């Protein structure tokens, strides 16, 4: 994993830092695992804008990712590590011994030609998916399920990982990337290793146009709006805007919005740090 700093031959490249893409082995995706991806531009069925600051951007095809890893006991060879425009992590193309192909989230250190497998009897090696009941304590994991059979929902972004801290008969204690410590059923699946592309946080776009290519339009700061448009709007000159709050008036900067009666509160051992 590496990043490259470009020579400032144009204003947009002066501060730009790009990914070295050392781990990428091909630039052509597997056609059988592509699906169309429709863009709404932030508009509803009537054509009215209901989400602000969305629109434009490069056309994309969705890569169908296997988040469930439920082909237990069937070894698969890693054929390529690929870029996915729909996520920050890289993806790996697997060829199973029974002829099936699938994409998975690639872990750091996953190599082309490596064999990965999922299931109870899988060895504790990078890229293998196992139930939490079979993973040794202290192991670094990613792509963790929240409910058995649901598919991975936690620790899926570039460079993220969780850690298996403890385990009982029914629940395992996991420390998540946010700092939250949480109980998860031991029958849930997780993948060994850290998610790939850990240098993603070091990238610098260099110019506003690159954000437009990603489908994000310019965002208006609340302080420069009128009072009718936002609680922080209005005032003469450069008014600070009072207490930071959302468009609906809810305070920002540390105000807790999680329900105190939420059913899953009992599974949170320690909340994430402020």
Per-residue pLDDT of the chain (274 residues; tens, 9 = 90+): 689 999 999 999 999 999 999 999 999 999 999 999 999 999 999 999 999 999 999 999 999 999 999 999 999 999 999 999 999 999 999 999 999 999 999 999 999 999 999 999 999 999 999 999 999 999 999 999 999 999 999 999 999 999 999 999 999 999 999 999 999 999 999 999 999 999 999 999 999 999 999 999 999 999 999 999 999 999 988 887 788 999 999 999 889 889 999 999 999 999 987 6
Give CA–CA dist 14/90, Å, rounded: 26
Q: Structure pTM?
A: 0.92
Start-end ranges of CATH 4.10.950.10 in the chain?
224-264
Give CA–CA dist 78/68, Å, rounded: 17
Return the number of other C-beta atoms located less than 10 Å from residue 197's C-beta: 25
CATH 3.40.50.1820 applies to domain 3-201: no
Start-end ranges of CATH 2.40.50.140 in the chain?
3-201
Q: Which class would CATH give 224-264?
A: few secondary structures
Stretch (H or E) spanning 153: strand 152-154
């Amino acid at each position: 994993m590496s990043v490259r700093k470009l020579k400032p031959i144009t204003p947009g490249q002066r501060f730009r830092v790009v990914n070295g893409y050392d781990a990428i082995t091909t630039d052509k995706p597997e056609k059988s695992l592509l699906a169309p991806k429709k863009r709404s531009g932030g508009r509803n069925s009537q054509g009215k804008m209901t989400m602000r600051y969305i629109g434009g951007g490069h056309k994309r095809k969705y890569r169908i990712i296997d988040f469930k890893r439920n082909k237990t006991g069937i070894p698969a060879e890693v054929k390529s590590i690929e870029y996915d425009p729909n996520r920050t992590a890289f993806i790996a193309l697997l060829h199973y011994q029974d002829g099936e192909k699938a994409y998975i989230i690639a872990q750091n250190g996953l190599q082309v030609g490596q064999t990965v497998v999922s299931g109870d009897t899988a060895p504790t090696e990078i890229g293998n998916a196992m139930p939490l009941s079979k993973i040794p304590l202290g192991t670094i994991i990613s792509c963790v399920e929240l409910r058995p059979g649901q598919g991975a929902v936690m620790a899926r972004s570039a460079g993220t990982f969780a850690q298996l801290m403890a385990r009982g008969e029914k629940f395992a204690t996991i420390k998540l990337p946010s700092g939250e410590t949480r109980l998860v059923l031991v029958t849930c699946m997780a993948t060994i290793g850290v998610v790939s592309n850990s240098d993603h946080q070091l990238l610098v776009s260099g110019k506003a146009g690159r954000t437009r290519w990603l489908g994000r339009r310019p965002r208006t700061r609340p302080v420069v709006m009128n009072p009718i448009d936002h609680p922080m709007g209005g005032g003469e000159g450069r008014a600070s805007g009072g207490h930071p709050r959302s468009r609906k008036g809810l305070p920002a900067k540390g105000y807790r919005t999680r329900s105190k009666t939420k059913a899953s509160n009992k599974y949170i051992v320690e909340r994430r740090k402020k």
